[in-house]
Structure 1
Amino acid sequence: MEVLHITAHLGGGVGKVLSRLVEASTRRGDGIYHTIACLEAPEKSQFVDQVRAHDGQLLVCPSQVELAEQVAAADIVQLEWWHHPAVAAWLGGELPAMRLVVWSHISGLHVPRLPTAFVTMPARFLFTSPCSWSQVALADLDGDVWLRVDAVFSTGGFDDLPEPQQRPLNGPLRVGYLGTLNFAKLHPRLLDFVAAVKLPNFRLILVGDPTTGVELLNEAQRRGLDSRLAIRGYRTNVAAELAGFDVLAYLLNPLHYGTTENALLEAMSMGVIPIVLNNPAERYLVEHGKTGLVVDSPAEFARVLARLNAQPDLRWRLSRQASQDVRKRFALEHTADCLLRHYQAVMTESKRELDFRPVFGDSPADWFRSCMGEEAYRFRDDGSVNLEGELPHVLFERCKGSVFHYHRQFPGDLRLASWAKILGAWR
């Protein structure tokens, strides 16, 4: 069975899961041969090397003709979706007949949204978290469509990470965060949580690219909280960083677009105790009081940290249970088995021609706006932007399918240029 994965890039969580799926197929001998078409040149070689080391085929920046030939030849085409402009451009063209499986790496609960028609068209549409079921627009889907929709967690497993070790139970509680440092992902009131902590010598260690956290760092300095933050920058050795944490303060924006949250699961697999907010995606990953702690305010965050600091036995119990749960529920074998089941079902169906232009539109500006959901009204056809009310942080992302991202990819689109200029000047 020849499976062609079309992905914008091989970074982050998607890079790990695709490269590990290639490895799993080789090891299991499951008869799946993976080709990955990467629409952008990889910035790092880690997952590229992993794919090639296990006999996976990798196409980097294929031409339209080459990609069309690969699509036509594949038994199954799996699209890795998160509203990236390069993928939107592919969907906006004329496509060969195919058996299409879409694996959505965003929840669709907030911007970027998933048009309902997009969910209904492929042979299979796979979410990466059950939290996506709560989208109001999906409630009206008929029974036949639900047979083609499922949730498969996007995880590459944790066999490459060490088992949890007994951590030191004396000394200050070591609290960290690993991931994106901007407020489209982090909670906009993160510093309120930091300020509420009463533990002596408390510091939150942030592992991530400082260039994405400029707003956070500036605000911390303004509030006199910069001494409570330690920025370590981007790190490739995740295990080494996590080994130095007792607690992961994973306090995300309630409007974030994530699902499987691999940074969170990797930390839990190594016995780092998660503290999360009561957001939809996190509720499917962390069980309060068993595999971590769920809080709803800065005051409660401060209370549970004080409790963990005072109760070493509780820390060890939560640490052990978090690791055991994650390594079982989110094992690579489980992901591979779920995908194989869908592949086998899809192979009983004929290839179909698909035209996504009625769903996403005919131009880059249309492609961008089609997934803006409740914020789409702001982006007007005359190139103006409605700036009334509170604008969500996600609109000001420099990448992640934002208007700035689309404008960089399609500089000749006049509406995108105007929208980006207005939003850039407003911020």
Structure 2
Amino acid sequence: MKIVHITPHLGGGVGKAHASLCAADPDAAGHHYVLLEEPRDRRYLEQVLKAGAQVSLAGDDDRLRGLMAAADIVQFEWWNHPLMCGLLAGPPLPAMRPVFWSHVSGVSAPFIPPGLIEAADRFVFTSACSRLAPNLEARHLARTEVINSGFCHDEPGLPGSYGTRTGISYLGTIDFTKMSPAMMQVIDRLDSDDVGVDVWGGVASDSPVHAAIAAMANPGRFRLRGHSDDPVAALSQSSIFLYLLQPFHFGTAENALVEAMSLGCVPLVFANPCELAIVRDGETGLVARSVDHAVEQLSWMLEHPDEVSRIGVKAREEVRRLKTPVRSVAAFRSVWEAELQQPKRIADFAAALGPTPRNWHEALNGGAPTTREASPQVSQSASKGSLAHFRAWYPDLDQAHRKPAASRA
């Protein structure tokens, strides 16, 4: 099969997922990734190439449409990126067999437009939590699949016993677009002088995270360790993975959470839909219903290392059995083979999004006005599907089918 993937880029979570899939796929040479923007992070792109797949920039419209028309399957790697919206809402695309893989949950903004699911042949979620999206009906969900994109580490587990691994760690996005300020509150309220959390990840110098740490009664407990290229080493002294996220975050497969569990770290998470699809309370981790409950749970974990050890073994076994790229490759192959039995067709994606960039942004934010940011997890920076991000590519938000600003002569 010739599979053409259309994606804004191969950085971050989507790049990591496809690098793992290609490495596990003996037919990786049949995949061609077409990027809609110049790559900035080439780490996973290089891994995709090493596995034998092709990667190219979209280039001119005729070339892109030619690649789509020649493919057996066209898979759109979907999230609320303005360039993907511009492609789908622009002039009609050639006849194809369109499959979508969504890298946002849709449980909160950015939502998944129901019309996009109706226009696709198959629409694939990365987490079962997406089936809780408030704007989707049973008829939409009947057209969906769930294929995981967050995978376990290849490492057999962290070195050392739970008797020597007593630390608490967080690894991931250090910004209140994702991480909850409750992280500071919970660690601050522990009744112990000898406790702290090692926090791994980059944080901007002007981030409000710094002010939140400074406001703690015990700021030394929140230890910023910086970015790590070696998560196994970063988590090597930890038995507890403190992963308290905002209720409105739009993550799905949560790579950091799955990877930590695969190394035997026991997660403490909030009862958000995405985390509940990964962590089974009391079995593979602990789930807190409030800040007070999180303090109680974390205190219990510190006082019961043997119980934490038991849960850690269960967590490692479960994610290493279920969260593998081999399983996801097989699931996709079933989807693609079923699609090959269907004729190619011209799909109307534009109707799901509307004619202008302002319409697209509103469609993804539940019709919210675009005079301000519609969702608290999106800042005014020109990134992550914010209104500023749309305006950076399409300065005139009300002009239909305009080419992206960066592509104009």
- 1:130-187 superposed Cα distances (whole Å, 9 cap, x missing partner): 111122432352xxx655311111134432x34233335258x411111112222122
Letter in 2 for 1:256: H
Note closer, same or farther for the CA distance 1:341–1:124 as it changes in structure 2 (3 Å cut). Answer: same
Check the 8 A contact 2:32/2:54 in 1, yes or no: yes
Give the structure 2 partner of residue 174 of structure 1: 167
- Give the letter aligned to residue 237 of structure 1: D
1:316 aligns with 2:299: no
Residues 180 and 212, structure 1, Cα contact 8 Å, conserved in 2: no
Q: Is contact 1:396-1:402 (8 Å) kept?
A: yes
Q: What is the deviation of 1:268?
A: 0.5
Q: For 2:292, give the aligned amino acid.
A: A
The one of 124, 127, 138 aligned to 2:125: 127
* Counterpart among 384, 387, 402 of residue 400 in structure 1: 384
For residues 131-150 of structure 1, the aligned pairs below 5 Å read 131-141=129-139, 146-150=141-145
- Counterpart of 1:88 in structure 2 is 85
Contact 1:183 1:393 in 2 (8 A): no
**Which runs of 5 or more residues in structure 1 are unaligned?**
416-427
Name the CA distance, whole Å, in 1 between partners of 2:10 and 2:81. 13
Among all aligned residue pairs of Structure 1 and Structure 2, give the percentage whose two residues are the same amino acid. Answer: 31
Which one of the candidate residues 98, 101, 108 is aligned to 1:100? 98
Deviation by residue 1:294-346 (Cα, 9 ceiling, x = unmatched): 11222322222222222221122111111110010111111111111100110
Equivalent AA in structure 2 for residue 326 of structure 1: V
Instruction: Determine the structure 2 residue equivalent to 1:240.
Output: 233
SS state at 1:138 partner: coil
For 1:117 and 1:96, locate their aligned partners in 2 and report how far apart those are by CA, in whole Å. 18
Aligned residues: 397
When residues 13 and 377 of structure 1 are mapped into structure 2, their CA distance, relative to the original with a 3 A threshold, is closer
- After superposition, residues 268-287 of structure 1 pair within 5 angstroms as 268-287=261-280
Amino acid at match of 1:262: N
Question: Where do residues 251-330 of structure 1 align in structure 2 (5 Å cutoff)?
Answer: 251-330=244-323
Give 1:244 shift: 3.3
93-102 or 35-44: which moved more? Answer: 35-44
TM-score relative to the length of structure 2: 0.90
CA contact (8 A) 2:108 2:133 kept: no
- 2:244 and 2:309 map into 1 onto residues whose CA distance is 22
Q: Match of 1:378, SS?
A: coil
Judge conservation of contact 1:178–1:207 (CA < 8 Å) in 2.
yes
Q: Distance in 1 between matches of 2:257 and 2:147?
A: 17
* Equivalent residues in 2 for 1:157-236, closer than 5 Å: 157-159=152-154, 161-167=155-161, 169=163, 173-211=166-204, 214-236=207-229
Asked if 1 retains the 8 angstrom alpha-carbon contact of 2:29 and 2:51, the reply is: no
Counterpart amino acid of 1:396? S
How far did residue 192 of structure 1 move?
2.1
Aligned residues of 2:362 and 2:369 also touching (Cα < 8 A): no
State the partner residue of 2:402: none
Contact 2:35 2:58 in 1 (8 A): yes
State the 1:129 CA deviation.
1.1
SS in 2 for 1:78: strand
Q: Which blocks of at least 5 consecutive residues in structure 2 are unaligned?
A: 400-409
Q: 2:47 aligns with which of 47, 50, 53?
A: 50
Name the SS of the counterpart of 2:309 in structure 1: helix
**Of 325, 332, 357, the match for 1:364:** 357
Deviation at 1:65, TM superposition (A): 2.6
When the two structures are superposed, what TM-score results if normalisation uses the length of structure 1?
0.87
Root-mean-square deviation (CA, aligned residues, Å) is 2.2
Is contact 2:170-2:200 (8 Å) kept? yes
Q: Decide which structure has greater helix share.
A: 1
Distance 2:151 2:189 in 1: 35
Instruction: Give 3-state SS (helix, strand or coil) of 1:113's partner.
Output: coil
CA contact (8 A) 1:181 1:210 kept: yes
